[in-house]
């Protein structure tokens, strides 16, 4: 069916059950390489891709009623600057004074877009599906912070950055959203798909120091 005027687009987020085409993530061909590069033990660090996470970019006035409504509907408190409320399954990341990124498990964009937009109804603000815009790298292991410190100028010391903290920053020459999800430490790095291979190269290069012998 062609709907010329039903335009509020959900194009990226339709039910995938009926789709016969293959979905590809930017780093799917590097799984084996990531496994080879993994270092275990007290000086260990590992890299993996977590593709297809649901991501919605939310913009709203920080003081308006829409923000409160969205926060209530999602069951997530409004995070402070550079913090995340919620958890890995559903987290709200502060990206700027009027910008948040809702990250959830794969395949929830349509549903969450509905929730957010209805909460925003009649107020200023936007909610845009950006799930396919970025992929997610997961960097974990005792040396993960050491690795990030080679490519990122944000202070990642536990006193300054710990679980539940996030930052939109540069890793090498790529913009990324850095989110610490665990104490080990463990990070999610959300990066635009076209930069994913560069970022993987950069992180693998920085990890090489910890490869045994």
Query: What residues make contact with another protein under the rule CB under 8 A?
Result: 1-14, 18-26, 51-52, 57, 59, 98, 124-126, 128-134, 149-150, 152-155, 157, 159-160, 172-174, 192-195, 197-199, 201-202, 205-206, 208-209, 213
Q: Which is nearer to another protein, 87 or 173 (CB)?
A: 173
User: Does 185 sit behind a cis peptide bond, omega within 30 degrees of 0 on the bond before it?
Assistant: yes
Give me the least distance between CB of 7 and another protein, in Å please.
5
| C-alpha distance from residue 196 to each of 53, 59, 137 (Å) | 14, 25, 8
Give me the least distance between CB of 120 and another protein, in Å please.
10
Give me the least distance between CB of 154 and another protein, in Å please.
8
Q: Which is nearer to another protein, 87 or 155 (CB)?
A: 155
Q: Which is nearer to another protein, 12 or 182 (CB)?
A: 12
DSSP annotation of 171 reads E
Q: Are strands 126-129 and 54-59 parallel, antiparallel or unpaired?
A: antiparallel
Residue 188 host element (H or E): strand 186-192
Structure tokens, 52 = 């297809």
């Amino acid at each position: 069916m062609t709907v010329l005027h039903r335009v509020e687009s959900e194009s990226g987020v339709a039910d995938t059950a009926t789709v016969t085409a293959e979905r590809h993530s930017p780093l799917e061909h590097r799984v084996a390489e990531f496994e080879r590069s993994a270092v275990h033990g007290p000086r260990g660090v590992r890299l993996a891709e977590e593709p297809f996470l649901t991501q919605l970019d939310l913009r709203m006035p920080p003081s308006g009623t829409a923000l409160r409504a969205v926060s209530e509907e999602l069951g997530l408190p409004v995070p402070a600057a550079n913090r995340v409320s919620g958890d890995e399954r559903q987290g709200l990341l502060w990206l700027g004074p009027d910008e948040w990124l809702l990250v959830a498990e794969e395949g929830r964009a349509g549903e969450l877009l509905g929730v957010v937009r209805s909460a925003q109804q009649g107020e200023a603000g936007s909610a845009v599906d950006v799930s396919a815009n970025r992929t997610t790298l997961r960097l974990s292991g005792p040396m993960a912070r050491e690795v990030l410190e080679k490519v990122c100028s944000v202070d990642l010391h536990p006193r300054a950055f710990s679980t539940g903290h996030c930052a939109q920053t540069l890793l090498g020459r790529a913009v990324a959203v850095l989110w610490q999800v665990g104490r080990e430490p463990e990070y999610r790095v959300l990066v635009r798909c076209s930069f994913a291979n560069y970022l993987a190269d950069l992180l693998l290069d920085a990890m090489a120091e910890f490869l045994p012998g």
